[in-house]
C-alpha cells in the first residue's frame, strides 16, 4: 500500500501552487464540472442564506468559493478562512476582504485541530478537502467537529472526489471515464500524473459512506445536489 502524504507534504505542495488555484475561470481543471459546482454551491448558499453573517471556508485554498459567494451577497458577511498553506490564506484574504463589509480572518492549520468557535457558523464550505481524511475514526471525528461548529439549521456544503464501493464501478467511473477526461484535458502522461498524486495524497470515501456518517454524528438531512463520475457535491443540514 502506498504511504500517504503527510500534512507537511500537502502544505508544501499547496504553498507552491497559489496562482493555479486563484483562477475563477478554470477552477481546478483536473476536477470534473469544476466551474459548474463553483456556481451551483455558491448560488445555493446565496439562495438559502441571503443575509449570511458567519461563513467558514475550510481548506479554502486561494479562496475561489468564498470570492464567488461574496460576489452574490449583499450582506456584511464575516468570513473565517482556514488552510494549511499560509500563501493560500494570504491570497484568499487579499481577494475576499474587498468584497464584504464584514471581518475576514485567517487561521492556519488543520481544521480538525484548530480552536474554532462552536455553534458559530451558518455555513461551512469544504471543497476538495475531505478526501485528505484517512481512517474511519478520522472521518467521524472530522464530521462531528463540523457539526459542532455549525449553528442550529446551519449547513455544510461539500464538493469533492469520491470513491465507489463496488470495485467494478470504481474501475469504470474512475480509471476509465475519469482517466479519459484527464487524457482529453492534456494527455496520458498527465492522466498518470494525476492518478499518482491521488494515490499518494488522497483517501476518498463513497458518497453513501459520507451521508451515513453525517447522519450518525447528528446532521438531520443530507441532499446530493450533483454527481458526475467520481466527483460529488452535497449539502448537509444541522
Please return the burial class of 67, using the count of CB atoms within 10 Å of its CB with bins 0-12, 13-18 and 19+: buried
- Residues sharing a CB contact under 8 Å with residue 55, sequence separation 6 or more, in sequence order: 66, 69, 77, 78, 79, 80, 121, 122, 123, 124, 125
Per-residue pLDDT band at 36 (split at 50, 70, 90): very high
Identify the DSSP state of 41.
Answer: H
Cell numbers for 214, please give them: 453525517
What three-state secondary structure class fits 213?
Answer: helix
The number of CA neighbours under 13 Å toward the Cβ of 108 is 11
What three-state secondary structure class fits 118?
Answer: coil
- Taking Cα atoms as reference points, which of 147, 158, 159, 136 lies closest to residue 205? 136
Q: Which CATH number fits domain 7-164+203-237: 3.90.190.10, 3.40.109.10, 3.30.420.10, 3.40.50.150?
A: 3.40.50.150
Per-residue pLDDT band at 13 (split at 50, 70, 90): low
pTM: 0.92
- Taking Cα atoms as reference points, which of 231, 108, 229 lies closest to residue 171? 229
pLDDT per residue as tens digits for the range 59-82: 999 999 999 999 999 889 999 999
In this prediction, residues 160-181 reach a mean pLDDT of 97
- Residues sharing a CB contact under 8 Å with residue 113, sequence separation 6 or more, in sequence order: none
Residue 205's φ and ψ, nearest 5 degrees, are -120, 165
- Report the sign of the C-alpha dihedral through residues 122, 203, 83, 178, in that order: negative
Cell numbers for 167, please give them: 470495485
- Taking Cα atoms as reference points, which of 73, 90, 217 lies closest to residue 156? 217
- CA separation for the pair 125, 234 (Å, rounded): 11
Question: Grid coordinates 449553528 are at which residue?
Answer: 151
Between strands 54-58 and 121-127, the pairing is parallel
Q: Domain limits of the chain?
A: 7-164+203-237
Bigger pLDDT: 223 vs 75: 223
- CA separation for the pair 73, 45 (Å, rounded): 9
Mean pLDDT of the chain: 91
Per-residue pLDDT for 164 more than 70? yes
Amino acid at each position: 500500500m502506498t504511504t500517504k502524504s503527510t500534512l507537511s507534504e500537502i502544505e508544501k505542495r499547496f504553498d507552491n501552487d497559489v496562482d493555479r488555484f486563484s483562477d475563477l475561470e478554470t477552477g481546478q481543471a483536473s476536477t470534473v464540472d469544476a466551474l459548474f459546482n463553483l456556481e451551483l454551491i455558491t448560488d445555493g448558499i446565496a439562495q438559502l442564506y441571503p443575509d449570511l453573517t458567519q461563513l467558514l471556508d475550510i481548506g479554502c485554498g486561494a479562496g475561489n468559493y468564498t470570492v464567488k459567494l461574496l460576489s452574490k451577497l449583499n450582506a456584511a458577511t464575516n468570513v473565517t478562512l482556514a488552510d494549511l498553506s499560509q500563501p493560500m490564506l494570504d491570497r484568499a484574504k487579499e481577494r475576499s476582504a474587498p468584497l464584504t463589509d464584514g471581518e475576514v480572518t485567517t487561521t492556519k492549520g488543520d481544521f480538525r485541530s484548530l480552536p474554532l468557535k462552536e455553534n458559530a457558523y451558518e455555513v461551512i464550505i469544504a471543497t476538495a478537502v475531505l478526501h485528505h481524511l484517512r481512517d474511519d475514526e478520522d472521518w467521524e471525528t472530522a464530521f462531528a467537529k463540523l457539526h459542532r461548529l455549525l449553528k442550529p439549521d446551519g449547513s455544510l456544503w461539500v464538493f469533492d472526489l469520491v470513491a465507489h464501493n463496488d470495485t467494478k464501478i470504481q474501475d469504470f467511473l474512475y480509471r476509465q471515464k475519469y482517466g479519459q477526461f484527464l487524457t482529453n484535458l492534456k494527455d496520458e502522461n498527465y492522466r498518470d500524473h494525476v492518478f499518482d498524486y491521488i494515490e499518494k495524497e488522497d483517501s476518498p470515501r463513497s458518497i453513501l459512506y459520507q451521508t451515513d456518517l453525517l447522519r450518525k454524528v447528528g446532521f438531520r438531512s443530507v441532499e446530493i445536489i450533483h454527481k458526475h463520475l467520481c466527483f460529488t457535491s452535497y449539502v448537509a443540514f444541522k
